[in-house]
Amino acid sequence: MDEETQSGDENGRAGEDVDEGDVVESESSAADTTDGSESANSPKPTDGSGSDAQFDAGEQPLDVDDPSRNKGIEDPSRDDSDGGGESATSRGDSSQPESAEPVTAEDIDIEESIGPEDPDSIRVGDSTAGTTEVSLDEVVLDDDDGDSQGLFDDLLSGEPIFENKEVLRPSYTPRELPHRTEQINQMATILVSALRGETPSNILIYGKTGTGKTASAKFVSQELESTSKKYDVPCEVEYINCEVTDTQYRVLAQLANKFIEKNQDVIETELDELNELHPQAVDDPTALAGSAYETADEVESRIEELESDRDEMEPVPMTGWPTDRVYSTFFDAVDYRERVVVIMLDEIDKLVEKSGDDTLYNLSRMNSELDNSRISIMGISNDLKFTDFLDPRVKSSLGEEEIVFPPYDANQLRDILQHRANVAFKDDALTDDVIPLCAAFAAQEHGDARRALDLLRTAGELAERGQADTVEEAHVRQAQDKIELDRVVEVVRTLPTQSKIVLFATILLEKNGVRNVNTGEVFNIYKRLCEEIDADVLTQRRVTDLISELDMLGIVNAVVVSKGRYGRTKEISLSVPIDETEAVLLSDSRLGDIENAQPFVQARFDN
C-alpha cells in the first residue's frame, strides 16, 4: 500500500513536471500575445495626442457621455476578445494610431467583428451610416473623456463596506475570544504544570461545531509557548489536525519530523557556540571558565557527539517505513532532550474513525517509557460519542480532564461578531440590525460562531456586490438563503449514487404534482430510474432507510402516517429548493443520463 502511495507520489510529481511545462509554454505564448498586443497598444501617449488632433480638427463626439457605447465601437480587438466590455478601453487604444493613418484593412476588421453581435456598435454604426472612417473618428474623439477606467477601477474606487475582510475568515485566529474565558482558564490551569516541569493531565475538549474549540486551543498553545520562552523552561506544543493527518503513520511521522527539526535547531545552536569556544580553549584554557567543560578535548568530543547525533537524525518519509520504526524515531526525537510536550490532536474523532485507537494507545502509554521528557495529550472533538469506540484504558487516560464548550447564545454571538466587525468593516458600514440578525440566525443553528461569521461576511459581500453603501438586514437574509443553498448543494452533490436516485425519484413525483408522496411510490420510480441507468436496485427496505437518511440530512421531510388497516407508511416531502436540487442531481454524470424523466411518473398510476 505504501508502495502504491509512493508511486502515486511519483506520478504526482511527473504530473507536476508536465504541468510546469505547460505553464511555461502557455506563459510564453501569453507573453507573445501580450507583446503582440502591446506593440499595438504601446504608443498610448501618442494615441492621446492623436485623439486631440482629431478633436481639434473640429469633429464632434457623438457619444461623449456614453462611455460604454464608445467602448463598443472603439474596440478593434473584439474578434479575439470574449466580448467583455471590460477590455475595451485598453484595447481600444490600439486602434487609434491606426485611425490616424489610412489603414483600411484594420477598419474592415473592426466593422466585421463588431457587426451584428454588438448592439452598441450596431447602434453607433447605424448612426454613422456604417462608414468606417466616421466611426473611427468617433472612437478617437470619444476616447478623450473616459480612457482611464479599466476593468477594476470602478470596483476598486467604491469600497465603502470592508476595511479588512480577512478578519471574518475562518483561517483568522482572533486575539480575543469573548465568552471563552472560563474554558481558556481551565485549560491554562491544567497546562501550567508543563511550565513547572511536571506532566499536565491529558485533556479532552468537547463541543459542537463552531463553539471556539480550535480557536481557544490555538490561543492557549501560543500563550504556553511564549511563556515557556519567557521563563526559559523547555515546553513545546504541537498541533495536529487529524482531519488532514488521519492515520497513525502520518501522525507519528509528522510529530517525529517536527521534533527532529527542533532538535536539529538546538544542536546547531550549541555547535555554533562550541565551534567558537574550541579554538579559544586551545589557545588559552581559561576561556573555558564558566563553561561546562574543563578541557579543549572535552569540547571537541562534545562537538563530535553533537555532529553524529545530528547526522543520525533521519526524517521520516511520508510513506514506506514500518510503523514500529516511525514510532521509535518519534520516541527518540521526543526523548532527545528534557522537556514537556503537549500534543494537541484536533478533530481526534476523525483519527479514531479512520484508523482506530492505536495511535492514542501508543501515545498515552509513552510517559512510562520516556527518560528525559514527558508528553501530555489534548484531544479536541465535536463528536461527543467518539470515546465509546476507544479501548477503556485509552478512554480513561485521555479523559483525565474534560472541558466542555457549550454552544453560544444569541447575545454571546452578538459580542463575538461585534468584536470582529469593528476591525472587518468600515465605520458605519453596518446598519443596526445586521449583527443582531446574524447572531439570531446562527443561534438557531446550534450556536455556531463560524456560521455567524460566515453570514456576516456573506452579507457584506452581497452588499458590496450590489454596490450598496451599507449592509442592511435584507443582505443578511439573502446571505442566509445563499449559505443554506450552498450547504444543500454540497450535501446533495456528495450523496452516494443510490441516495441520489431516491431523491431524484422524490423530486420527479413532486414536480408532477403528486401530493403526499409515500415510500412505495418513491420506490416504484426509483426502480425504473435504476433500470434506466443500469444501477443496482436495492430492496424497498433499504430505500426506506435511505429516505430516513435524507430526512436526517434535512433534505426531505418524512413523517410516518397511519393508513388504518392498511398499516403505516411514510409521507415524504422535499425540504430543499426543488430546481436547484434537481440541477445538482443531473450534474452527476450517471443521473445526467436519464433522458426525458417525465414518463416515469406514470409509474405511480401503473402500479
Binding residues: 211-215, 408, 420
Q: Which of 214, 254, 329, 373 binds Mg ion (CB under 5 A)?
A: 214
Count of residues that interact with ligand ATP, criterion CB under 6 A? 19
Check binding of 447 to ligand ATP (CB under 6 A).
no
Check binding of 70 to Mg ion (CB under 5 A).
no
Cβ distance to ligand ATP smaller for residue 416 or 503: 416
Check binding of 183 to Mg ion (CB under 5 A).
no
Cβ distance to ligand ATP smaller for residue 260 or 456: 456
Q: Cβ(335)–Cβ(372) under 8 Å?
A: yes
Q: Cβ(78)–Cβ(84) under 8 Å?
A: no
Q: Which of 167, 256, 287, 449 binds ligand ATP (CB under 6 A)?
A: 449
Of the candidate spans 108-116, 213-221, 233-241, 511-519, the one that interacts with ligand ATP by CB under 6 A turns out to be: 213-221
CB atoms within 10 A of CB 581: 23
Binding partner of residue 407 among ligand ATP, Mg ion, none, CB under 5 to 8 Å per kind? none
Cβ distance to ligand ATP smaller for residue 121 or 216: 216
Count of residues that interact with Mg ion, criterion CB under 5 A? 1
Cell of 412: 454571546
Cell of 294: 574543563
CA distance 312 to 307: 9
CA distance 45 to 51: 10
Q: Which of 102, 119, 170, 317 binds ligand ATP (CB under 6 A)?
A: 170
Q: Which of 210, 379, 447, 460 binds ligand ATP (CB under 6 A)?
A: 210
Using DSSP bridges, classify how beta strands 556-562 and 401-405 pair: parallel, antiparallel or unpaired: unpaired
Cβ distance to ligand ATP smaller for residue 136 or 380: 380
Exposure string for 100-124, b = 16+ CB within 10 A, e = fewer = beeeeebbebbbebbeeebebbbeb
Return the half-sphere exposure (C-beta side, CA atoms, 13 A cut-off) of residue 207: 24
Check binding of 248 to Mg ion (CB under 5 A).
no
Binding partner of residue 212 among Mg ion, ligand ATP, none, CB under 5 to 8 Å per kind? ligand ATP
- The distance of closest approach from Cβ of residue 470 to ligand ATP in the complex, given in angstroms and rounded to an integer, is 23
Check binding of 416 to ligand ATP (CB under 6 A).
yes
Cell of 549: 437518511
Cβ distance to ligand ATP smaller for residue 422 or 467: 422
Check binding of 203 to ligand ATP (CB under 6 A).
no
Torsion of CA 490, 494, 499, 505, to 10 degrees: 50
Return the half-sphere exposure (C-beta side, CA atoms, 13 A cut-off) of residue 434: 28
Cβ distance to ligand ATP smaller for residue 216 or 257: 216
Of the candidate spans 78-86, 446-454, 499-507, 550-558, the one that interacts with ligand ATP by CB under 6 A turns out to be: 446-454
Check binding of 207 to ligand ATP (CB under 6 A).
yes
Q: Tell me whether residue 458 is exposed, middle or buried, using C-beta atoms within 10 angstroms of its C-beta: 0 to 12, 13 to 18, 19 or more.
A: buried
Of the candidate spans 130-138, 183-191, 211-219, 559-567, the one that interacts with ligand ATP by CB under 6 A turns out to be: 211-219
Q: Which of 70, 77, 211, 376 binds ligand ATP (CB under 6 A)?
A: 211
Q: Cβ(401)–Cβ(412) under 8 Å?
A: no
Is the CA virtual torsion 390, 393, 398, 404 positive or negative?
Answer: positive
- The distance of closest approach from Cβ of residue 450 to Mg ion in the complex, given in angstroms and rounded to an integer, is 9
CA distance 365 to 362: 6
**Most distant pair of Cα atoms in the chain: their distance:** 106
3-state secondary structure of 340: strand
Q: Give the residue ranges of DSSP H helices in 336-471.
A: 348-355, 358-364, 392-398, 410-424, 434-444, 449-465
CA distance 193 to 545: 50
Cell of 569: 407508511
Of the candidate spans 22-30, 126-134, 210-218, 411-419, the one that interacts with Mg ion by CB under 5 A turns out to be: 210-218
Check binding of 381 to Mg ion (CB under 5 A).
no
Cβ distance to Mg ion smaller for residue 50 or 210: 210
- The distance of closest approach from Cβ of residue 85 to Mg ion in the complex, given in angstroms and rounded to an integer, is 44
Annotated binding site for ATP: 211-215, 408, 420
Binding partner of residue 97 among ligand ATP, Mg ion, none, CB under 5 to 8 Å per kind? none
CB atoms within 10 A of CB 465: 11
Chain residues that interact with ligand ATP, rule: CB under 6 A: 170, 174, 177-180, 207, 209-215, 382, 416, 449-450, 453
